[in-house]
Amino acid sequence: MNHNLIIQTNLKKHKKLNLLVKKISEMNSLVLAYSGGVDSTFLAVISNYALGNNMVAVIADSPSLPKSELDYAIEHVKKFKIPYTVIKTQELMREDYIKNNSNRCYFCKDELYVHLKSILLNKGFKFIVNGTNFDDLGDHRPGLIAAKDHTVYSPLAEVSLTKKEIRDLSKLIGLPTWDKPAQACLSSRIPYGTKVSVNSLNQIEKAEEYLHQQGFNQVRVRHHDKIARIEITQKEFSNLFDENCRKKINDYLKSLGYLYVTIDLDGFRSGSLNDVLNLSKKSGS
């Protein structure tokens, strides 16, 4: 499939797509924070269309990124013939990140953007961009503050592209990520105030990978010390309650070190650990 041809033929039909291509073209060159998710993959393809090799997609490899996601990101950037590089970030060497306060994401992004700025200067490129979309601006995202501190631009948000619009345009262009489930870093599974460690991240990664292997698509394993709180979509509850499936999952997660394996009856909710922040706001504490 010729993605560039599809983009070209749809510029006049989609105002925001046209605005995005124009905005990126005016940047002349850029370094992109790329994760292989819906937003950054779409932005990578559009940036490559607009700028050719005057851009580079940078993938951050760290214990907070599942190995399967790293492999997926590399596979697709190669498939689209987009210039890329993989860097090792060291957020787990930072005490401010490990402490896992509600602003943890700031320090993760701060670590990333320091690396991207170095690449920017070495290559002589002009801008650093990320895949923040318009919907993200209303969420609790300390990483947006880090982006501002490092003068990182968000072209998708700047042209008011929402998550749904990005998925729709990705499908139109023929990107396999158009229906990819949302994926946040593994540290987001650990409640605020509980320290982040390589061991806990590995435990979470293995637990979620096993659930994916059992056929569950959208999965979070929230890590409450010795308790694993599983979040899946409510429509998949019946699959989990199959006796054989339930036993296999229970046994495997306990083999990872969990004493109790539970299911959240509210089902999957992106950012559910932020509930405690919302509760604090309501109580005025």
**pLDDT score at 139:** 73
DSSP state of 36: S
The residues pairing with 220 across neighbouring beta strands, listed in sequence order, are: 231
User: For the whole prediction, is pTM greater than 0.85?
Assistant: yes
Residue 125: what pLDDT? Answer: 97
- pLDDT at residue 274, rounded to an integer: 60
Nearest-CA neighbor of 40 among 26, 56, 57?
57
What span, in angstroms and rounded, lies between the C-alpha atoms of 138 and 236?
29
- Alpha helices, DSSP H only, in the chain? 3-10, 15-27, 38-51, 67-79, 95-98, 104-123, 143-149, 155-158, 163-173, 198-213, 237-240, 243-255, 275-283
pLDDT at 150: 97
In whole angstroms, how far apart are CA 212 and each of 206, 216, 218? Answer: 10, 5, 8
Q: pLDDT value at position 272?
A: 56
Alpha carbon 273 to chain centroid distance?
16
Sites in the chain below the pLDDT cut of 70: 1, 271-285
Domains and CATH numbers, the chain: 3-179 (3.40.50.620), 186-283 (3.30.70.2210)
Predicted confidence at residue 196, as pLDDT, reads 97
In our burial notation (b when 16+ CB lie closer than 10 A, e otherwise), range 270-279 reads eebbbeeeee
- The confidence score (pLDDT) of residue 3 equals 81
Q: What is the pLDDT of residue 215?
A: 95
Residues near 48 by beta carbon (within 8 Å), at least 6 away in sequence: 55, 80, 81, 82, 83
DSSP 62: -
Nearest C-alpha neighbor of 113 from the set 156, 74, 142: 142
Q: What is the pLDDT of residues 38-58, one digit of tens each?
A: 999 999 999 999 999 999 999
Residue 4's pLDDT is: 84
